[in-house]
Chain A
Amino acid sequence: MIGYLGLQLLWYFMQIIVSVWYHISIVGNMFESYFISYEVLNKYKSLHIGKLRYLAVVIESEEAHQTSKVIKLLQWLDSVGVKNVCLYDMNGVLKKSKDTIFQIMKNAKSIEEVNEDVTHHAPDHMTLEFVSYVDGKEAVAKAANLIFVENFKRHDIGGELDHQILLESHLNQALQIVGCKGPEPDLLLVYGPVRSHLGFPPWRIRYTEIVHMGSLNFMRYGSLIKAIYNFTKVRHNYGT
């Protein structure tokens, strides 16, 4: 009996220790975030943004209604030199906020307006791409359909129906035609309660680094800098 009580006490004591450690770590994270924000920590003062050519931000649709927070996030990104940003939410809430965002982000342009490869344009303005679920799997189905239609036209006029016509490169081209112009992001930040990319276009995340940032309600500048900094330090093998 005494032994059993002793074990129970030990178990509760361990739970307290773990809980305390957890809360200390949360506070530690907050302090680190503030130190980064106020440029106290030297290593975060200069980011080598060149490696981050295209950034995607996934926001859970309910949180995406907070346009002011989205704009604040974009302003932070602009201030550190991240110029090419793709904004995604599943239900297209961000697409509806597009006009409001461009009104405030006066130096930003839509990806449709930028003719050249967005990863190579001069960094004097931001390029924003707005994406939702329809630009993912549904777009792939549309692109495949487009290829089929072209192929069947050739078949009707005497050509041979060629199953080999459908290659990765053909799907890439067809996706461009149906309106999915954006490149594969180097880094994808997820704001929301779930650690999932929530249906971001699957064709575009082969080697994308994915970082869960927590709720948009609690976004912090320091956390953003840290995520970008960590990305710039990663070595990519790409299968080799």
Chain B
Amino acid sequence: MFSLRFPIALKNNLITYPPKRTTKPAPSSHYLHSINSQSHLFPSQSMIVTKCDTMAVVANNIPKVALGDEVEGGTSLDEDLTMPAELKMELMPKHVAVIMDGNRRWAEMRGLPLSEGHVAGMKSLKRMVKLCLSWEIKVLTIFMFSTDNWARSKVEVEFLFSLVERIVNSEIEAIMRERIKISMIGDSSKLPESLQRMITNVEESTKNHSKLQIIAAINYGGKHDVVQACKSVTKKVQDGLLHLEDINENIVEKELQTNCTEFPYPDLLIRTSGELRVSNFLLWQLAYTEFFFNQQLWPDFGKSEFVEALSSFQKRQRRYGGRHSSPSIQ
């Protein structure tokens, strides 16, 4: 019930939320030493960290260690994965989409380097992946980089792509062990070649995995997805596979990039940090998706917040406006 986003907000978490950590801002050398001294965690899934609309500019401070390590002073990730009694397994959403927002603000509020915001964000993503694995959620789509984010500085953009590459490379063992399928949606042609190669390799390596599918939206835009779907339809018409008069919304839907999964339409969309928009993410696919806008910044979005989102989803009356059969469309 605390997840209900009343028209009149109950509280502003950004003002009242106390920082979880009390560590002082660390110079980069100390930061790296701290990370190196920690043991690897189990299970160590892929953590791909980014924000969409408010990405921090962190130049030259790319962590050089596996991102499965904890930062000194942080909370343990060996937390209880037991599903709370309030949740029902049979009502779990099959597909959860997440717009991870708030890493930079999280770091700024604590007087920490911006890189620590991203590290903390990685921990949140790892927590979510572990919970999705435990609670049998089939698909997790994460919005990593939008087509609109190219407006940011070149340094920031290059840093983010480099970070993604390093994280995936360092977590590949965990991905294989946990049988996680990795897919990417978005226009990869504009990405650095090394990142393109990495994505191709990891997609190929994990194509037969089925326990959890993580869809990473990189250089993705909802409008661009629709346009490329329409272009695909054009090609099929030209090749004689389709007739012009057969083109309808269903034909277009089948060509969207989310057709890489058995469950292309998110049941639940979570966006953190209090923002109330979808920001060009999965525009076509969100028609019946339940929205959960949470005030917490992404690094603070943990198990209890995820339970709140899932509980809200399960309680909500799931109605599709009469679209189960054919609607009386006007």
Contacts and interface: CB of A to CB of B under 8 A. Distances in A.
A133 B238 CA distance: 29
Interface string A221-240: 01110110010001001111
A198 B291 CA distance: 11
A96 interface: yes
Interface stretch (A49-57, A77-85, A116-124, A200-208): A200-208
B234 A166 contact: yes
Nearest to A238: B148
A141 interface: yes
Nearest to B145: A239
A60 B319 CA distance: 9
Contacts of B234: 148, 151, 161, 163, 166
B8 A33 contact: yes
B329 A202 contact: no
Given A61-B321, A226-B7, A211 B276 contact: yes
B64 interface: no
A91 B330 contact: yes
Nearest to B289: A196
Given A140-B226, A196-B290, A25 B283 contact: no
Interface in A3-41: 18, 22, 25, 28-29, 32-33
A70 interface: no
B277 A210 contact: yes
B88 interface: no
B287 A197 contact: yes
Interface in B273-323: 276-280, 283-284, 286-293, 316-319, 321-323
B2 to A, nearest CB: 8
A199 B147 CA distance: 23
Contacts of B222: 202, 206
Contact of A237 (B54, B150, B223, B291): B54
B252 interface: yes
Given A196-B291, A223-B8, A140 B252 contact: yes
B277 A208 contact: yes
14 contacts: A25-B10, A133-B327, A136-B287, A141-B251, A171-B223, A194-B316, A195-B291, A199-B321, A205-B277, A210-B276, A210-B291, A211-B7, A226-B7, A237-B53
A89 to B, nearest CB: 8
B279 A91 contact: no
Interface of B: 1-2, 5-10, 52-54, 146-152, 222-224, 226-227, 230-231, 233-235, 237-238, 244, 247-249, 251-253, 276-280, 283-284, 286-293, 316-319, 321-323, 327-330
B318 to A, nearest CB: 7
Contacts of B327: 90-91, 133
Contacts, number: 192
Nearest to B283: A202
B247 A32 contact: no
Nearest to A161: B238
B12 to A, nearest CB: 11
A127 interface: no
Given A91-B322, A144-B230, A195 B292 contact: yes
A-B pairs with the 4 shortest C-beta distances?
A: A92-B330, A239-B148, A90-B321, A223-B7
Given A141-B248, A144-B252, A195-B291, A60 B321 contact: yes
A227 B6 CA distance: 10
Contact of A206 (B6, B223, B287, B289): B223
Contacts of A76: none
Contacts of A230: 9
Given A140-B252, A141-B249, A240 B152 contact: yes
A177 interface: no
B222 to A, nearest CB: 7
Contacts of B224: 168
Nearest to A89: B321
Given A61-B321, A134-B330, A167-B227, 9 more contacts: A93-B330, A140-B249, A140-B252, A144-B230, A163-B231, A194-B317, A195-B292, A198-B321, A205-B283
A17 B139 CA distance: 36
Contacts of A18: 1
A29 B8 contact: yes
A66 interface: no
Nearest to B150: A239
Contacts of A151: 234
Best-surrounded residue of A25, A60, A214, A234 (most CB of chain B within 10 A): A25
Contacts of A234: 276
A137 B291 contact: no
A199 B288 contact: yes
A227 B8 CA distance: 7
A198 B226 contact: no
Contacts of B284: 137, 140, 202
Contacts of A125: none
A109 interface: no
A10 B25 CA distance: 40
Nearest to B279: A207
